[in-house]
A = this chain, B = another copy of it.
Amino acid sequence: MTQKIQIGKLAMLIASLTPDELEPFSQQLEDVDYCQGKTGSMSMQKVISAVETSAKRNNIISEELYRETHALYHAILEALEGVMRGQIGAGDMMRTVGLRFAIVRGSPYEHFDEGEWIAVAFYGTIGAPVKGLEHETFGLGINHIG
């Protein structure tokens, strides 16, 4: 791994660990900006919207720059490819997701000019719209930003 900060791994851990389990990583988290949230739905629209709103409300991205919304949007879509594994469009497929998500922004590379990047991670369950008829799912998307 040639990166000084693994923003993807940090996003994955925030999305999936309990507060106690996350404790040992608290120092690494000081090097990045991040936020987290929850979303559950049969609609991809609501999932995307929940992440975008959280990113803006917590100042992880600038609300005024399309550039940053564009970078985040593609990171979300890539993360959803992992969550949905080839079939984006949960509701239409009779699947419902219950997800925790994390958004991490930082400078992963040594070289200063590589600038800032953003990672989006989802962890939770996917399954039939009936409690218990579900299994774990995970997704990670990464993009350059700023």
Q: How would residues 87 to 104 of chain A score, 1 for a CB under 8 Å from any chain B CB and 0 otherwise? A: 111011110000000000
CB pair A65–B114 under 8 Å, yes or no, is yes
Band of interface residues on A: 35 or more
CB pair B123–A9 under 8 Å, yes or no, is yes
Q: What are some 18 contacts across the A-B interface (CB < 8 A)?
A: A2-B132, A8-B138, A44-B93, A45-B94, A65-B111, A65-B114, A66-B128, A66-B134, A67-B115, A82-B83, A82-B140, A88-B89, A88-B92, A91-B92, A92-B92, A121-B138, A136-B140, A138-B140
Q: Does A59 contact B (CB under 8 A)?
A: no
A104 to B125, CA, bound (A): 17
Residues of A within 8 A of B (CB): 1-3, 6-9, 12, 16, 21, 24-25, 43-45, 48-49, 52, 64-67, 69-71, 73-74, 77-78, 81-83, 85-89, 91-94, 108-109, 111, 113-115, 117, 119, 121, 123-125, 127-128, 131-142, 144
A7 to B136, CA, bound (A): 8
Chain B minimum-CB-distance residue to A109: B66
CB pair A93–B77 under 8 Å, yes or no, is yes
